[in-house]
């Protein structure tokens, strides 16, 4: 079957808070690629940083950037040789995308540490130039070996969450390598956003019985407790420090306050066995040192 160029649209960020709907011609999938009609894309914290500031930390946007990377869609076209890398794929399949695409040739890729491949391109990130555009598009061409077929019981909305869920599962597996079943009784999760909640799901699946979550947003904590992600919560009070010593003092104080929170049976949290830091905030990282 002869494949043709498709007219498609997407949302591109041209400056902070300047999203524009654009239309262009998408060529057929190339060698080893498939074409996916995106059905669901969630918004990550990095997307929000780009939208609000046109940068993410030190990573600057240098050309119009399509956001979105946590995504799932339907296979609508198969490129030449795509079956050699993913033979089970066919048109109409529902797939989740792995959007960090490594070189596949370096030592890190060969030892299955491709997530830190120096040539890794990540959709919706400004880290490489030209930028690897995100999934707020109607259709994209993507390497066939970096998609995963969804079973019938997983819809597109859930499929889009598999990328952040993989982060949580990896963290819990790493913790299992460093502990014994006896000391996996309790854990603290800093951050009650999407990754924090998914980490709670992964921890519960691994057998952790008692989970306390900490966040600055009381609404997030109330949701986490109401829906069974956490048994106890702690609302972090933002406090500024003027020195490293003061910062560590605040971290120690936060740790003590978390330890005084009580589980539903009335016993104090005290020390937890495992801490998952899901915010990237320095003060939470520092408090993590004291609370376990």
* Domain range annotation of the chain: 6-160, 165-291
pLDDT of residue 91: 97
What is the chain's Cα-based Rg?
A: 21
**pLDDT number for residue 183:** 62
Written as tens digits, the pLDDT of the chain (292 aa) is: 556 788 899 999 999 999 999 999 999 999 999 999 999 999 998 999 999 999 999 999 999 999 999 999 999 999 999 999 899 999 999 999 999 999 999 999 999 999 999 999 999 999 999 999 999 999 999 999 999 999 999 999 999 999 999 999 999 998 888 766 656 689 999 999 999 999 999 999 999 989 999 999 999 999 999 999 999 999 998 888 899 899 999 999 999 999 999 999 999 999 888 999 999 888 899 999 888 7
Say whether pTM exceeds 0.75.
Answer: yes
Where does residue 182 rank: exposed (0-12), middle (13-18), buried (19+ CB within 10 A)? exposed
What gap in Å lies between CA 268 and CA 181, rounded to an integer? Answer: 21
State which H helix or E strand residue 96 sits in: strand 94-97
Angstrom distance (rounded) from CA 45 to CA 41: 13
How many whole angstroms separate alpha carbon 165 and alpha carbon 185?
Answer: 21
- The CATH number that domain 165-291 falls under is 3.40.50.720
> For residue 38, what pLDDT is reported?
98
Which is the CATH superfamily of the domain at 6-160? Medium-chain alcohol dehydrogenases, catalytic domain (3.90.180.10)
DSSP for 6-37, please give it.
EEEEEEEEEETTEEEEEEEEEPPP-TTEEEEE
Contact of 44 with 93, CB cutoff 8 Å? no
């Amino acid at each position: 079957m002869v494949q043709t160029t498709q007219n498609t649209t997407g949302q591109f960020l041209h400056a902070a808070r300047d999203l524009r709907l654009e239309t262009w011609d998408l060529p057929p999938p190339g060698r080893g690629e498939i074409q996916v009609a995106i059905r669901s894309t969630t918004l990550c914290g990095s997307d929000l940083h780009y939208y609000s500031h046109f940068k993410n930390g030190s990573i600057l946007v240098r050309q119009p950037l399509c956001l979105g990377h946590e995504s799932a869609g339907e296979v609508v076209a198969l490129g030449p040789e795509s079956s050699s890398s993913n033979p089970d794929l066919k048109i109409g399949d529902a797939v989740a995308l792995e959007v960090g695409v490594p070189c596949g040739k370096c030592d890190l890729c060969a030892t299955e540490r491709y997530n830190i491949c120096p040539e890794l391109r990540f959709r919706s990130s400004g880290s490489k130039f030209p930028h690897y555009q995100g999934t707020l598009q109607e259709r994209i061409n993507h390497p066939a070996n970096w998609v995963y077929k969804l079973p019938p019981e997983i819809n597109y909305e859930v499929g889009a969450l598999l990328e952040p869920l993989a982060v949580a599962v990896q963290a819990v597996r790493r913790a299992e390598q460093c502990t014994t079943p006896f000391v996996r009784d309790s854990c603290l999760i800093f951050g009650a956003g999407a990754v924090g909640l998914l980490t709670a799901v992964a921890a519960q699946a691994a057998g952790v019985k008692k989970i306390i979550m900490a966040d600055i947003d009381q609404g997030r904590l109330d949701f986490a407790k109401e829906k069974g992600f956490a048994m106890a919560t702690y609302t972090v009070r933002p406090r500024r420090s003027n020195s490293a010593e003061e910062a560590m003092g605040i971290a120690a104080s936060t740790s003590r306050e978390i330890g005084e929170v009580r589980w539903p049976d009335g016993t104090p949290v005290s020390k937890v066995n495992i801490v998952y830091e899901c915010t990237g905030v320095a003060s939470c990282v520092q408090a993590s040192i004291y609370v376990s």
